């Protein structure tokens, strides 16, 4: 049984919703009675991941978040369908080519920053007219422990997440008086397709990546996307009504 009737169910937007943390967040929100707009650049994967969700509770929209026109159009479609937007999980992101900054290519730097930072800003700006009109809203960005301490093997990605934490802090200070809260969740090693691909690339295979996690994490295991989704749900809700400008680590102690 959900805590909302269909008429008063809050509306959330999730980007990067076709897999990993975004997919887990979308599923959890639907389970808790939200109506959800799911945005991803891969519309075929998005349709497959959302196949088990009630069509009455979701709308799917293809958009590259680094493209302002596409993203604004997707947000407009979600508002038209559901009539409001109460929450945003700005989750879309890419890891990029990896490696230290000294060997980063200009093309990879531009792509990672465009999606991870500019894309987050574009998505936030697209939902803000609705939230400002409503006088309330909750925005959660997926940042990373790589934005809290240097990650030389993921130099460009780390820089992008440092920048995204700056977006969280500045937006929280700006939008708090308007009743809009802005926070971040910082996953560490989380069992997503991106993590598995990075583990295979850097450690040889997926199991090696999990062994690495067992040796370095205080909690001794890789996290699940659902555990990050639960933090997003909390930040959206009334229990976090006095929380803004905060980064909630869901990382098994990696940032210690």
Q: For residue range 175-213, list pLDDT tens digits in order.
A: 999 999 999 999 999 988 777 776 655 544 444 445 455
Q: Where are the domains of the chain?
A: 11-188+223-250
Which residues are identified as catalytic? 157
CA 103 to CA 187: how far, in whole Å? Answer: 26
What pLDDT sits at residue 217? 87
- Residue 216's pLDDT band, with cuts at 50, 70 and 90, is confident
| Each residue's pLDDT tens digit, 64-77 | 999 999 999 999 99
Question: Could you give the CA distance from residue 51 to residue 44 in angstroms, rounded to a whole number?
Answer: 11
CATH superfamily name and code, 11-188+223-250: NAD(P)-binding Rossmann-like Domain (3.40.50.720)
Q: Are 85 and 139 spatial neighbours (Cβ–Cβ below 8 Å)?
A: no
Which pLDDT value is given to residue 5? 44
Q: What's the helix, strand, coil split of the chain in %, to 5?
A: 50, 15, 35
- From CA 177, how far away is CA 52, in angstroms rounded? 39
The model's pTM:
0.92
Neighbours of 214 (CB within 10 A): 12
DSSP 8-class letter at 224: P
Q: What six digits make up the tokens of 163?
A: 């920048």
Q: What span, in angstroms and rounded, lies between the C-alpha atoms of 64 and 175? A: 25
DSSP state of 24: H
pLDDT at 197: 72
Average pLDDT over residues 134-139: 98
Query: Mean pLDDT score of the chain, rounded to an integer?
Result: 92
Say what the pLDDT of residue 194 is.
72
**What distance in Å separates the CA atoms of residue 40 and residue 42, rounded to the nearest whole number?**
5
Question: In the chain, pLDDT over 70 holds for what percent of residues?
Answer: 90
Position 3 pLDDT exceeds 50: no
**pLDDT for position 8:** 84
Helix, strand or coil for residue 72? Answer: helix
Per-residue pLDDT, averaged over 123-142, amounts to 98
Which residues, including other chains, have CB under 8 Å from residue 157's CB and lie 6 or more apart? 94, 95, 96, 98, 112, 116, 144, 146, 151
- Cβ–Cβ under 8 Å, residues 112 and 65: no
């Amino acid at each position: 049984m959900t805590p909302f009737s269909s008429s008063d169910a809050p509306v959330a937007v999730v980007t990067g919703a076709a897999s990993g943390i975004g997919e887990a967040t979308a599923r959890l929100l639907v389970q808790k009675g939200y109506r959800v707009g799911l945005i991803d650049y891969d519309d075929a994967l998005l349709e497959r991941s959302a196949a088990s969700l009630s069509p009455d509770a979701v709308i799917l929209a293809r958009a590259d978040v680094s493209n302002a026109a596409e993203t604004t159009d997707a947000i407009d479609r979600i508002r038209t369908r559901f009539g409001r937007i109460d929450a945003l999980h700005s989750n879309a992101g890419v890891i990029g080519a990896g490696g230290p900054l000294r060997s980063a290519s200009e093309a990879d730097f531009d792509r990672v920053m465009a999606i991870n930072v500019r894309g987050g800003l574009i998505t936030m700006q697209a939902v803000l007219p609705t939230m400002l009109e409503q006088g309330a809203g909750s925005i959660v960005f997926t940042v990373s422990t790589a934005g809290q301490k240097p990650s030389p093997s993921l130099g460009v990605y780390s820089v992008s997440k440092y920048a995204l934490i700056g977006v969280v802090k500045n937006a929280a200070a700006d939008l708090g008086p308007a009743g809009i809260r802005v926070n971040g969740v910082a996953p560490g090693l989380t069992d997503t397709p991106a993590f598995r691909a990075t583990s295979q690339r850097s450690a040889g295979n997926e199991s090696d990546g999990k062994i690495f996690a067992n040796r370095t994490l205080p909690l001794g295991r890789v996290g699940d996307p659902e555990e990050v989704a639960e933090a997003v749900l909390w930040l959206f809700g009334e229990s976090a009504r006095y929380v803004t400008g905060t980064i909630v680590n869901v990382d098994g102690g990696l940032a210690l």
